[in-house]
Structure 1
Amino acid sequence: MQTFADIIIVNARVLTMDDTAPKAEALAISGNRIVAVGSTAEIEPLKGPATRVIDAAQGTVLPGFNEAHMHIFMGSVGLRQLSLYKVKGFDELKAKVEDYAARNLDLKLLLARSADYTILSETERTTRHDLDRVISDRPFAMISPDHHTAWANTRALELAGLLHGRQVGVGNKVVMGEDGLASGELREADAMQPVFDLSETGGREGLGIGTGGEPDSLTPQERAIDLDIIRNGLAYCASLGITSIQNMDGNFYQLEILDEIEKTSGLPVRVRMPYHMKNFMPISDLKEKAAAWHDRFDTDRLRCDFVKMFIDGVTEGESAVFLDDYAHRPGWKGDPLFSQQHLNDIVTEADRLKLPVAVHAIGDGAVRMVLDAYEAASEANGKRDARNRIEHIEVIHEDDIPRFKELGVIASMQPTHPPGNAGLPLEPYLSFIGRDRWPLAFAWRTLADAGAEIVFATDWPVSPLDPMGCIHDAMTRKRWADDLQDQRLTLTETLAAYTSTGAHVEFMEDRKGRLKPGYLADVVILSGDVEATAVEDLDAIRPVFTICDGKVTYEKAPT
């Protein structure tokens, strides 16, 4: 008896990301699996009376995008917040905030995102006095694009109990002014959290990544708000062609919400989450919590199977860790959040438990510390295919470049982060790292040529989530000086960093990340041919269909 496909995609330019058969014209899906990839003539016989036929109109068809580093709760909340993306100058900021305040009279905290470090001045830091001139009668705060710094007005600082300063965790800081009161600048999660606690979500979106905690007490209404926020964020992911996310938040509360969505309406994207290990947590948590979470959440649709950590902060906040001094601040290299021995101990225990590790490391000093920890774990437990990662790697020392291949460490990087990309200014970043570090900053090509495996992502909401926008930024990156190497990857390498390599990082390369028979039916259909499109126009190509696990999760409305 003839078995027909549920969905057939025809008239397509299929890029399978499978080296054995890299291109095709059509593919067929039955249930949640791809059953055939090939020519139109080969696929047509699988069309039955109930088969849905999708005409790709010569658009590119790819494996669904894998967003390898993002924050789903924080990003989803951000969809409701005021965006200050590309806003410059006092007048524009004031107009934006006043309009937002007038439209949101019931908000307990006016919160804006994507506020550039130089939004008001190229040379002076924003203060509470600046923000008081913007709005003074309601609490207001704005968050930097990297989410490592926030600025709050006086009203917000008063309500949060920060106006007179407060001791916060290592690597965190309530910046004080010359008048003995808080300046308004808050560096890192522990310093920002008291202000975020004033918001409609009570700052719950930052618990996993920030304090590492769980909500203390929650009303059914508050949980319903959070669930609705995350549902909207997941739908937004699907609308951008994303079928897998690696959510770096890492708290149990989010896992339970995601599990509820999966068991009711079904997750529109696959989710991978870590256990977030902070410097104040006992190492025993890895066995008692991280391994237990892994046992409970371990399906192809929702899994918790790795450990996430921070070793430093960000360059603009002067909290990244460098081997040598900041160029603008002699004597300061940054303070790591863990000692080398403490980091080694945690990574070694996670490795013993067969839990991969992903560590945020911005400066070359932080990157070296993480590589040293991975090497220590390998020496203690024996070498294995751990697929440990380093997140961001904004600056690297030349001596550490070959260690990625030697240790099998994956470079998780963001094409939207280099200054000059995605609307980001060049300063103060370039001055902070100094000219000598420019050649090995955001060194994608250098690392790839040395054999490192690279995955791309946006770190949403640090950068806009759109994969095609990110691919555009990767392919159009400009050099900061003529004598610097072009660090761009090829289009094929860039697409792999958003699809097949992401699956490999997750130990799922045997069933997703490629379009081939027997693989999970995770597919994105684009509005144009990416190979025939000029790189500067890649962001104009849009997803028209997203299919995850064999189900259409997004379909562009007809125009």
Structure 2
Amino acid sequence: MDPDHPRAEAIAVDGNRILAVGSGAEIAALAGPETRRIDAAGATVLPGLTEAHLHIFSGAAGLSQLQLAQVHGLEALREALAGYAAENPEASLLICKGADYNLFGPGISTTRQLLDQAMADRPVILIAGDHHTAWANTAALELAGILQGAETAVGTEVVMGEDGTATGELREFDAYMLVMRHRNSGGRENLGMTGSEPGVEVTPEQWEEDLETMRRGLAYCASFGFTSLHNMDGNLYQLKLLRELENRGQLISRIEVPFHLTPGMTAEALETASQMAVEFNSDRLRSGRVKMFMDGVIDSGTAVMVEDYADQPGWKGEPLHQAEVFNAICIEADRRGLQISVHAIGDGAVRRVLDVYEAAQKANGPRDSRHRIEHIEVIHPDDIPRVKELGVIYSMQPSHPPGAMDFPLIPWTAKVGAARWPYAFPVAALRDLGVPICFASDWPVADIDPMRSVHAAMTRKPWREDHPDNSVTLQQALKYYTHGGAFAGFDEGRLGSLKPGMLADIVVMDRDLEALAPEEVDSAHAAVTICDGTVIWQA
């Protein structure tokens, strides 16, 4: 990832810095009697990877919860739940992750009645892979006291049936947290996702439990070659957990945690974001960014579109922030020098975010802000050049395009409509304009394995032959996972490329990536992960 020296045979590390990059003979001559040598055996060596969009704590917590990504149909769900329930006899709520919108078959809505057929005697909640929709059985709805419905924030909903009772579908965090708060832990594992702090005092036992969850998540990320993590949910509690690990010498990778500004907050809340940026600013742990949601997701109809949903005339979705308040927040955040990341899925949400970034530049003057838009699943063609003009970073998840990896074509493609397909996940259009791109997974929304995402990005096919080809080359995909992620984090001066003087964040793969066919790239894995000159994971 160094354009002046794109290839080498060997690399030397001294302390936490790269000393030299060159031929095998040149580098071997630098070794001393105590030098540790790692033979990559002809495999690819890369800068340490950056996971530019993940949810570290909820992802780590989910490792111990039932995963449903490969579960389809009533019988398979019944069997999976029975085993999970037997393993967790004391759980007040059985939480399952990664549920497919087509769990019971294409076009079949998941309802509490169907879930009751799988398990009726214990409260169960299934959370969709995108974490924007959940489904609860009757026992869980009764536990939460919402079988007869509940008032929730704009853009969120406890879906009601014709019989006047809840169907079991819960759209967006505010709705399904009504159920989640009744689990034994009180829902601490989702605190960052909602931007909230613990509502009660955390006991010493819970504190150590949460530290172990965070350690488990960091180790899991390291096992894939990640040395830098951009968390996309944040609260002070997570930062304190990470600082405790740093103080104990157990923060094995670099991580950035934002201030999560939720709907209902105003610009005054940014004082906390600024304080977090000052208080947490070490080499491995920092804040300094604000994360917001402008909309939900297309699959549940909560993304904001410019024109009506193709399958729902008259509906465009509702933005999660009022325009005037959102504008004031972003202008003030920009004035404070904070970086901004906004989740924007639909083309209407993307336009609103671009509008406010433009307003911030007019109010405060242009600067190297590197404000980001997370996802851009659909963009209006008129807005494509604006992304480049405004200096916005496109944070893209190759695992998200329906059909590219694990997410099904339906309901996404039907809700968007064929007329908008050419502007979906627009990697080619933005890349050709020179827009900075970083790749990520959005774990636990999607599998964190970067080689699966590289495979998905390389083999992605248009949904129609006359539509743009948004696939990428191996070199482009690796750049977006290394230099692209470093640039998005203002770290390109010290991370993201292998050259003398850079920090020694390195991943050794288990094979030569360039020798693999595109269809085989996802068979590769990290063999050794090095952060700051220290081996933090080894296969």
Describe the SS at the equivalent of 1:114: strand
Describe the SS at the equivalent of 1:53: coil
1:210: Cα distance to partner?
A: 1.6
1:283 aligns with 2:267: yes
Residue 490 of structure 2 corresponds to 507
With normalisation by structure 1, the TM-score equals 0.95
Residue 529 of structure 2 corresponds to 546
CA distance in 1, matches of 2:344, 2:451: 25
Residue 167 of structure 1 corresponds to 151
1:342: Cα distance to partner?
A: 1.8
Worse-matched range after superposition: 226-235 or 476-485: 476-485
1:269: Cα distance to partner?
A: 1.2
1:104: Cα distance to partner?
A: 2.1
CA distance in 2, matches of 1:70, 1:389: 14
Select 1:89's aligned residue among 55, 68, 73: 73
Return closer, same or farther for 1:215/1:465 CA change in 2, 3 Å cut-off.
farther
Residue 356 of structure 2 corresponds to 373
1:208: Cα distance to partner?
A: 2.4
1:453: Cα distance to partner?
A: 1.0
1:320 aligns with 2:303: yes
Residue 398 of structure 1 corresponds to 381
CA distance in 2, matches of 1:545, 1:201: 35
Residue 311 of structure 1 corresponds to 294
1:194 aligns with 2:196: no
CA distance in 2, matches of 1:415, 1:508: 22
1:380-427 CA distance string (max 9 Å, x none): 000111000000000001111011110000000100001102222110
Residue 483 of structure 1 corresponds to 466
1:264: Cα distance to partner?
A: 0.2
Matches within 5 A, 1:133-532: 133-287=117-271, 289-532=272-515
| Unpaired stretches in structure 2, ≥5 consecutive residues | none
CA distance in 1, matches of 2:26, 2:364: 49
Worse-matched range after superposition: 168-177 or 215-224: 215-224
CA distance in 1, matches of 2:405, 2:184: 29
Worse-matched range after superposition: 225-234 or 214-223: 214-223
Residue 7 of structure 1 corresponds to none
Return closer, same or farther for 1:201/1:382 CA change in 2, 3 Å cut-off.
same
1:215: Cα distance to partner?
A: 3.6
CA distance in 2, matches of 1:532, 1:496: 17
CA distance in 1, matches of 2:28, 2:191: 51
Select 2:42's aligned residue among 49, 55, 58: 58
1:461-505 CA distance string (max 9 Å, x none): 000111111111111112212221110122211111101111111
Worse-matched range after superposition: 68-77 or 158-167: 158-167
Describe the SS at the equivalent of 1:445: helix
Decide whether the 8 Å contact of 2:17 with 2:502 is kept in 1. yes
CA distance in 2, matches of 1:80, 1:314: 26
- Provide the aligned length of Structure 1 versus Structure 2: 539
1:99-152 CA distance string (max 9 Å, x none): 211222222221111111011131231111111110011111111010000001
Decide whether the 8 Å contact of 1:526 with 1:541 is kept in 2. yes
Residue 14 of structure 1 corresponds to none
Describe the SS at the equivalent of 1:402: helix
CA distance in 2, matches of 1:224, 1:136: 34
CA distance in 1, matches of 2:207, 2:499: 40
1:132 aligns with 2:116: yes
Runs of 4+ displaced beyond 6 Å: none
Return closer, same or farther for 1:194/1:217 CA change in 2, 3 Å cut-off.
farther
CA distance in 2, matches of 1:207, 1:384: 33
1:217: Cα distance to partner?
A: 2.1
Matching residue's letter, 2:537 = Y
1:211: Cα distance to partner?
A: 4.8
Describe the SS at the equivalent of 2:367: coil
Residue 6 of structure 1 corresponds to none
Decide whether the 8 Å contact of 1:132 with 1:153 is kept in 2. yes
Matching residue's letter, 1:360 = H
1:99 aligns with 2:83: yes
1:282: Cα distance to partner?
A: 2.5
1:338: Cα distance to partner?
A: 1.3
Decide whether the 8 Å contact of 1:214 with 1:251 is kept in 2. no
Matching residue's letter, 2:54 = M
Residue 2 of structure 2 corresponds to 18
Describe the SS at the equivalent of 2:530: strand
Query: Over aligned residue pairs, what C-alpha RMSD do you find?
Result: 1.1
Decide whether the 8 Å contact of 1:75 with 1:461 is kept in 2. yes
1:305: Cα distance to partner?
A: 1.0
Decide whether the 8 Å contact of 2:57 with 2:192 is kept in 1. no
With normalisation by structure 2, the TM-score equals 0.98
Worse-matched range after superposition: 464-473 or 375-384: 464-473
Describe the SS at the equivalent of 1:73: helix
CA distance in 2, matches of 1:24, 1:109: 53
Decide whether the 8 Å contact of 2:215 with 2:250 is kept in 1. no
